[in-house]
Chains A and B, each alone.
Chain A
Amino acid sequence: MIRIKDVAQIAILAVIIFGIEAALMFLPNVQVTVLLIVVYSKVFNLKKSILIVTIYTILDNLLFLNIYYLPFMLVGWLVIPVSLNTVFKKVNNVYILATLSIFYVLFYSLMYVVADVIILKIGFLERMLSDSIFVMIFIVSSFVSILWLYEPLKKLLLKLEEKL
């Protein structure tokens, strides 16, 4: 059973991802969403991480009034908490996590391409190539942010978790 404290924590953490993403919107594809989901997945259990990611994704889709992309985005993001709490559970090295973020971004971007191919009926390769520059920016911003901010953020969250 989820306690009220957990509900509040999940809501706040989801809003943090959403808020930072909205604040960085003026920089196309420069975001720390992957960093935050990776940190949450490592600090909290699978159930809590999945709830945070799901709430964030729903919020994101509500803002842009575009529910068609919701299932694709959900799959794209949920692969992070699921993999980090199962196959990569023991991985805590920041360099490995930063490298993993490259694959997470590629997978998330691929989900968007699949969505566009199905919804907008455009060519797969054409769509892949068109987004390459933005995917590259997304990869670099995720890689660098994990490299520098993963450890301090994890420490901070663990401290807060202890206090709570």
Chain B
Amino acid sequence: MKKNIIKILLTIISLVILFFVIRFLDNYHKLEDSGTIQVIVIDENDNTVIDEEVSYTKGQSLKELFEANFDIEERNGFLVRINDVYADGKEYFLKIYLNNKPALYGINQLKYKNGDVIMIVHTKVGDYRDPH
């Protein structure tokens, strides 16, 4: 009984810590202002099929911004389709670049600011060539 109480306490403490860490990091990633970003999409034939400037409002995530401006599909948190550019997520994926550097987050978490360039490139898994 005592053992279970300790386990319950430790579980609650772990979950509380997790909650606060997520909250803190979520606030850290929130956008401060509004503005425009450039969105470029390159398909499997290396053609630029989208090159648009889109406006965002305060607090709008990249996913929300894409949903408002493009036809997108997401699977398990990964962007798998934007308009007609589709990647199965197994052999090919949609690689996101933020200002010419591989993005470290998906469209749900990626932090961006006014003037940023978001490039989405249809990429073969394991292909680490720089498309720029």
Q: Which residue of A lies closest to B101 (CB)?
A: A122
User: Contact at A65–B126, with CB atoms within 8 Å?
Assistant: yes
User: Contact at B11–A126, with CB atoms within 8 Å?
Assistant: no
**Bound Cα distance from A44 to B70, whole angstroms:** 53
Interface size on B, residues (CB 8 A): 23
Q: How far is the CB of A126 from chain B (nearest CB, A)?
A: 7
**Bound Cα distance from A13 to B128, whole angstroms:** 33
Question: Which A residues touch B125, using CB under 8 A?
Answer: 64-66
17 examples of A-B residue contacts, CB within 8 angstroms: A25-B76, A26-B76, A65-B91, A68-B126, A95-B6, A126-B104, A127-B104, A130-B104, A133-B25, A133-B109, A137-B18, A137-B22, A140-B14, A140-B15, A140-B18, A147-B7, A147-B11
Task: Report if A67-B7 is in contact (Cβ < 8 Å); known contacts: A126-B104, A130-B104, A144-B14.
Answer: no
User: Contact at B104–A119, with CB atoms within 8 Å?
Assistant: no
**Bound Cα distance from A95 to B17, whole angstroms:** 18
User: Contact at A148–B105, with CB atoms within 8 Å?
Assistant: no
A152 contacts the other chain (Cβ, under 8 Å)?
no
A43 contacts the other chain (Cβ, under 8 Å)?
no
B77 contacts the other chain (Cβ, under 8 Å)?
yes
Question: Which B residues touch A64, using CB under 8 A?
Answer: 90, 125
Interface residue ranges, B against A (CB under 8 Å): 6-7, 10-11, 14-15, 17-18, 21-22, 25, 76-77, 90-91, 101-102, 104-105, 109, 125-126, 128
Question: Which B residues touch A130, using CB under 8 A?
Answer: 104-105
Question: Which A residues touch B101, using CB under 8 A?
Answer: 122
**Bound Cα distance from A95 to B7, whole angstroms:** 9
User: Contact at A122–B102, with CB atoms within 8 Å?
Assistant: yes
3 closest Cβ pairs, A-B complex: A130-B104, A140-B18, A140-B14
**Bound Cα distance from A143 to B15, whole angstroms:** 11
**Bound Cα distance from A5 to B105, whole angstroms:** 44
Q: How far is the CB of A3 from chain B (nearest CB, A)?
A: 36
Q: How far is the CB of A10 from chain B (nearest CB, A)?
A: 26
A136 contacts the other chain (Cβ, under 8 Å)?
yes
Question: Which B residues touch A95, using CB under 8 A?
Answer: 6, 10
Task: Report if A136-B126 is in contact (Cβ < 8 Å); known contacts: A65-B91, A147-B10.
Answer: no
Question: Which B residues touch A136, using CB under 8 A?
Answer: 17-18, 21-22
Q: How far is the CB of A96 from chain B (nearest CB, A)?
A: 13
**Bound Cα distance from A70 to B74, whole angstroms:** 27
Question: Which B residues touch A144, using CB under 8 A?
Answer: 10-11, 14-15
Q: How far is the CB of B105 from chain A (nearest CB, A)?
A: 6
**Bound Cα distance from A130 to B110, whole angstroms:** 9
